[in-house]
Structure 1
Amino acid sequence: MSRPAQSFDAIILGAGGAGLMCAAVAGQRGRKVLLLDHADAPGKKILISGGGRCNFTNVNAGPQQYLSANPHFMKSALGRYTAADFLALVERHGIAWHEKTLGQLFCDGSARQIVAMLLAECDKGAVTLQLKAPLRDISHADGRFRVKAGDRIHEAPALVIATGGPSIPKLGATGFAYDLARRFGLKVVEPRPALVPLTLGGDQILFRELSGVTTEVVAHAGKASFREAALFTHRGLSGPAILQVSSYWRPGEEVGVDFLPNAVSGWLLAAKRERPRTRLRGFLGTMLPERLATTLVDRLGIDGDLANLPDRKLMHAEAQLGDWRFRPTGTEGFAKAEVTVGGIATAGLSSQTMEARSVPGLYAIGEAVDVTGWLGGYNFQWAWASGWAAGQAL
């Protein structure tokens, strides 16, 4: 005999950052909330973030650090639940934190503190958390959603999609959110890996021999540029600067790298005047890692004492070093991507409440939605802000 359906005010699918926040906010507003996840523990992506210390937000978080087909969509949620709001929550729970470069906030201790904090907030709202609950079926009729998870059936007038995107599949990530959205008639912006290493091939394969070499650069793709570290890998390019531009890069396009972002125009000609007997290779080796300097000089095809190199060749070398062009063969895919660009189209959602315009009671939040932040705590801030917005509306 089948069990009778359990009734809730809202069912939230996915116990990641956005789902936990949404459940806590709605529960504390007096809603009877069920939070479901197929995993054996909540907040798995939180636990591995920031080297285990969770880069939980960024003090600079604003709409300009996000990608979306609609660059205005995220303004409402981010404006109503800010980095300062989440930091206040962290401090209320007595979690010690510190600020790193570029406004990034981390736990002093462990990312587990953030998960524990969110679970405590859910407990405060009497949220029912059901783990190891694979979804068997989801239906919608007469204004109610019916969810079969494991061997149990649940019903609610509101359903929240918070199952994230397909990045980091080893944590159980899938494209489930998109399949479910399409079933309800919502459009999906084609998802692709973001914050992901780029691969090199062809005549640029020799750069792979620099695996492990890192240096500060300005990298750019399209109109976006970032000044941070770049790292050469056995497959191509990585490091914060490259991960950042990967979100803007499209297959077939080039990525430009300024290897000497501190150099002023004419620096090589000035070096020729001041240090004429210095070899180009040796001089570059004072400004860049030696292995990288050697490889770049080899690719430039010039070397020797600066005094013996024509000005036009030095000017050409300076221009190349300031905008070295790589044409990646691809990315390392969703397996290595920190997040996903694309997702459930914002055109079908309310920016105020995250509710689907065509399906009353259906919501989508977090990485499942076509909103993607920069590296450095911005994606968590979108999870908190979108989860809060939906939690206020449930």
Structure 2
Amino acid sequence: MTTSCYDTIILGAGAAGLMCAATAGQRGRRVLLIDHAEAIGKKILISGGGRCNFTNLHTAADRYLSANLHFAKSALGRYSAADFIALVDRHGIAWHEKTLGQLFCDGSAKQIVAMLQDECDRGGVEIALGAAISDVAHGDGQYRVTFGTRSASAPALVIATGGPSIPQMGATGFAYDLARRFGLKVVEPRPALVPLTLGGEETLFRALSGVAAEVVARVGKTRFREAALFTHKGLSGPAILQISSYWRHGEPVAIDFLPALKPGWLVAAKHARPRVSLASALSNHLPGRLAETLADRLGIEGELGAATDKAVEAAARQLADWAFTPNGTEGFAKAEVTAGGISTAELSSQTMEARKVPGLYAIGEAVDVTGWLGGYNFQWAWASGWAAGMVV
């Protein structure tokens, strides 16, 4: 088997790998991009309901989880959301802001994939698809990758194969296996941006499947105000997906069902309309089915006026801090991303190169950097891919 020689071999043709390949190729590097899938950017295509939430205007390092909360600052600071927007604009792709700084294509996620393909073409990147990697070896300053019926070598190897979230699209833990083989530590991977499941007495809330409301979801001191959705398995919706990244098994999740209302509102409602029921008072602010279920659980029956102010105030406090204890998540199959991954302690935040293994780089979701919902993870892919692409 003859071995082809390159300056850089990149494993994984997702968002980070494509950005890295295009950046390095346009610097004049000979780049080989390898992916076992039959097409590039498969996760990009399904993102944002097919319109790709490609970045967020509010990107900052404090919107990312990592064992090192400062690690992402360098790459994000040097390749910003504005830089990626400029690239999108150069390709004539129309976009819009949806909510909370989230930017989407007006048309299709296919436009982002086509843009990245074009950028790779401009850099003369060779892309090898549909060939599984059977071996990765290192010696004499060269990385040798065997894939399909071919072999290639280069002094630089970039791990951009992501994490195991959405395995039905071919996602695996390959990045972690490879990292460990080269002696790099891995922070335990876990599902993130994922629906939570409920059991025990809380299965009563499954009857609300399909009901959504704006809430504040909280774990510890971390909180998000967005929509929550009851499902037949538990809780989902943006607020829950956000908080799931911070949740650990056994911890409660607190929900404020009425974040827009001030303390004392329910006592005031009682005195203004003493003959209404608690369910009726709640239905002015919440979907009817949710109002009735919460009222039933709170145990104030009949007219509000018949209850003491103390009992009414206690009900209001529970509505503002209702604790659920999830029994798990819906796992990697439903997780939008993976938290954990290749330890940032092993990598340079400037270049993404492994400190103890010259020429080995890790970028994107493979690394222990996980963004909030809303385009943050794509921006990390672009920024980390660019950072590595500028030096490989």
For the aligned pair, the TM-score class normalised by the smaller chain equals over 0.9
What does 1:1-394 align with in structure 2 at a 5 Å threshold?
2=1, 4-394=2-392
For residues 224 and 52 of structure 1, what CA distance do their matches in structure 2 show? Answer: 30
Letter in 2 for 1:203: E
For residues 307 and 92 of structure 1, what CA distance do their matches in structure 2 show? Answer: 64
Report % sequence identity.
72
For residues 180 and 304 of structure 1, what CA distance do their matches in structure 2 show? Answer: 64
Letter in 2 for 1:40: E
For residues 16 and 36 of structure 2, what CA distance do their matches in structure 1 show? Answer: 16
For residues 277 and 27 of structure 2, what CA distance do their matches in structure 1 show? Answer: 70
Deviation at 1:29, TM superposition (A): 0.2
- TM-score in terms of structure 1 length: 0.99
The answer to whether the Cα contact below 8 Å between 1:24 and 1:125 also exists between their aligned partners in 2 is: yes
Q: Please list every run of 5 or more consecutive structure 1 residues that lacks an aligned counterpart in the other structure.
A: none
For residues 92 and 203 of structure 1, what CA distance do their matches in structure 2 show? Answer: 54
Letter in 1 for 2:379: Q
**Helix, strand or coil at the partner of 2:162:** coil
**Helix, strand or coil at the partner of 1:393:** coil
For residues 277 and 327 of structure 2, what CA distance do their matches in structure 1 show? Answer: 34
Q: Which string of whole-angstrom CA distances, capped at 9 and with x for unpartnered residues, describes residues 17-63 of structure 1? A: 00000000000000000000000010011000000000000000000
The answer to whether the Cα contact below 8 Å between 1:69 and 1:370 also exists between their aligned partners in 2 is: yes
Letter in 1 for 2:195: P
Q: Which string of whole-angstrom CA distances, capped at 9 and with x for unpartnered residues, describes residues 339-365 of structure 1? A: 011000000000000000000000000
Letter in 2 for 1:252: G
Letter in 1 for 2:179: A
For residues 166 and 364 of structure 2, what CA distance do their matches in structure 1 show? Answer: 15
Superposition RMSD in Å:
0.5
For residues 190 and 206 of structure 2, what CA distance do their matches in structure 1 show? Answer: 24
The answer to whether the Cα contact below 8 Å between 1:281 and 1:303 also exists between their aligned partners in 2 is: no
For residues 268 and 45 of structure 1, what CA distance do their matches in structure 2 show? Answer: 46
**Helix, strand or coil at the partner of 2:164:** coil
For residues 219 and 303 of structure 1, what CA distance do their matches in structure 2 show? Answer: 27
The answer to whether the Cα contact below 8 Å between 1:198 and 1:331 also exists between their aligned partners in 2 is: yes
**Helix, strand or coil at the partner of 1:102:** coil
Deviation at 1:286, TM superposition (A): 1.3
- TM-score in terms of structure 2 length: 1.00
Question: Which one is further off, 117-126 or 266-275?
Answer: 266-275
Q: Which string of whole-angstrom CA distances, capped at 9 and with x for unpartnered residues, describes residues 266-304 of structure 1? A: 001111111111111111111101100111011111122
For residues 209 and 8 of structure 2, what CA distance do their matches in structure 1 show? Answer: 49
The answer to whether the Cα contact below 8 Å between 1:165 and 1:175 also exists between their aligned partners in 2 is: yes
Deviation at 1:192, TM superposition (A): 0.2
**Helix, strand or coil at the partner of 1:215:** strand
Q: Figure out how many residues of one structure are paired with residues of the other and give that number.
A: 392
Letter in 1 for 2:282: L
Deviation at 1:222, TM superposition (A): 2.0
Question: Which one is further off, 37-46 or 304-313?
Answer: 304-313
Letter in 2 for 1:258: D
